[in-house]
Amino acid sequence: MRSTTKSRSAAAGAALAAVLTVSPPVHADTASSPAWHSAASSPAWHACPGDGVPQGMRCATIDVPVDWSRPGGMKVTLDLARFPAADPARRLGSVLTVPGGPGQSGVEVFEQFSGSFTGLRERFDVIAYSPRNSEARRDLPPSCSRPALAAVTDPRDGAEYRAQAAVLATAVERCRADDGTGLVEHMDSLSVARDMEAIRVLLGEDTLSLLAWSYGGIPATAYARLYPERVRAMVVDGTLDQPGGPYALDRRGLSTVEAGFTRFVAWCAGDEKCALHGRDVRSVWRRLVEDTRRHPVVHTSPELGTIKLTDMHLKVFGGAAMSFPGGRPGLADAISKAAKGDLSWFGDQALHNAQGWTMPGAMAARCPDALGYQGYSGFVRGRRHAERISADFGGSSSWESLVCSGWRLPIANPPRPLPVKGLPPVLGLGSQSDSASTGDLVRRIPGSVTVRYDGPGHVMYLAGNRCMTGHADRYLAELELPPPGTVCPA
């Protein structure tokens, strides 16, 4: 299943010309429902195509405007899936699941993790959709899926920063010129939130309950800001505090990475399988960081290209791996080899990730949410701010800022406060590595609670942890939150 873009009238040429004009960002904190109505009064649910579809799962589509400020223009078709409530007589409404990524297909998640929603299906129709920033990318021209850079460089001055940003900006402009749909200009989380409201209208529901995970928490938060009166209940699992902006994200993210580093050091001290067992891991790491800061290391991969590695690259990819036990043995081996001059693991990680992150289509789904620092002066201030918080990992967020340095279109979904009134209390879920960030978000809504899983992992609802899913299912059904400080044991 995938999303497709198409014209709805003989005046497609005129509509296309209108859509290709960049619209100013819509600051609609008090927006009502979008000025749009589906041609159908309810979804045309049918048997889902393909093999291995879970029993009871039904599929449909919905057409929404590519540009919500031009509802009569080009449309994008989104795939929907539904598990109907097991007992229609006790049905409470619909739960809309909001997938992560950005770019994850909620319909595919349904197919892969159908068992995770068994409890919800007792009282709700559970609805999944594939956001416009998921399979919709397949309809963009090849230039939108072509990496702009073989490697993301850590600039040493403003000239290097601007030169790299110019290459990224040129790739985005080429993608826009080749895109006949205008979709690449409207893949932001605010547009996704408006699509969610269109789904609510099509379902005929007065309100929605939301279950959002990972990056899906950002469009879910945008929906709560736009349509607070339409939110019956909301669960966010392992997400980011986007309303707090990059400084808040850095403060919380770095404290989480440092905690993961402490667990990594303790694991190395107690497990002979760690390649650094018996060594002062912190000293080894800090020496590597300082050495690559002073003397960048050139790494070449025959398949991926060449990169000049600095301390930023070590912090980005070392920090990401330290929090998860599954990545610890490989990371320990990589650090041990790096201490001897072989930084190939870090180089390959940086080159491989640049392939995906610098595609204009991927930038279009993430950069309008302003998770990084804007401009060279913002980049420098953010770097200094982060390094004051953490010498070991400060600057790891520079990756996001650098990737989005070439995004010259309006920031559609800037960090903004959530409404104080109108929203119900929210339930947050999170593991050791992401409960703190999730907690920062839900604390912005009075009366909200975060349940922490005292172990590793990400997106605990899909992981099937019964304690975590039990709290979420009870809250969604009964609208009663667990006590503050509730912890689910590992």
Q: What is the pLDDT along the chain (490 residues), one digit of tens a residue?
A: 344 444 332 222 222 222 222 222 333 444 545 555 555 557 889 999 888 888 889 999 999 999 999 999 999 999 999 999 999 999 999 999 999 989 889 898 988 888 889 999 999 999 999 999 886 667 789 999 999 999 999 999 999 999 999 999 999 999 999 998 899 999 999 999 999 999 999 999 999 999 999 999 999 999 999 999 999 999 999 999 999 998 888 888 888 888 889 989 999 999 999 999 999 999 999 999 999 999 999 999 999 999 999 999 999 999 888 767 678 899 999 999 999 999 999 999 999 999 999 999 999 999 999 999 999 999 999 999 998 888 899 888 789 999 999 999 999 999 999 987 889 999 999 998 888 899 999 999 999 999 999 988 889 999 888 999 999 999 999 999 999 999 999 8
Residue 385 placed within a domain: yes
Specify if 228 maps to a domain: no
- For residue 416, being part of any structural domain is answered with no
SS3 per residue for the chain: CCCEEECCCCCHHHHHHHHCCCCCCCCCCCCCCCCCCCCCCCCCCEECCCCCCCCCCEEEEEEEECCCCCCCCCEEEEEEEEECCCCHHHCCEEEEEECCCCCCCHHHHHHHCHHHHCCHHHCEEEEEECCCCCHHHHHCCHHHHCCCCCCCCCCCCHHHHHHHHHHHHHHHHHHHHHCCCCHHHCCCHHHHHHHHHHHHHHHCCCCEEEEEEHHHHHHHHHHHHHCHHHEEEEEEECCCCHHHHHHHHHHHHHHHHHHHHHHHHHHHHHCCCCCCCCCCHHHHHHHHHHHHHHCCEEEEECCCEEEEECHHHHHHHHHHHHCCHHHHHHHHHHHHHHHCCCCHHHHHHHHHHHHHHCCHHHHHHHHHHCCCCCHHHHHHHHHHHHHHHCCCCCCCCHHHHHHHHHCCCCCCCCCCCCCCCCCCCCEEEECCCCHHHHHHHHCCCCCCEEEEEECCCCCHHHHCCHHHHHHHHHHHHHCCCCCCCCEEEC
Residues of the domain holding 352: 158-171+257-406
In a domain, 145, yes or no: no
Cα 186 versus chain centre, distance: 16
Q: How much is the pLDDT for 37? A: 57
Asked if the peptide bond before residue 71 counts as cis, ω within 30 degrees of 0, the response is: no
* Nearest residue to 352 via CA among 404, 316, 406: 316
What global pTM score does this model have? 0.88
Counting the structural domains of the chain, the total is: 1
Residue 340 lies inside a defined structural domain of this protein: yes
Domain presence at residue 213: no
Asked whether residue 122 is assigned to any structural domain, the reply reads: no
* Residue 357 included in any domain: yes
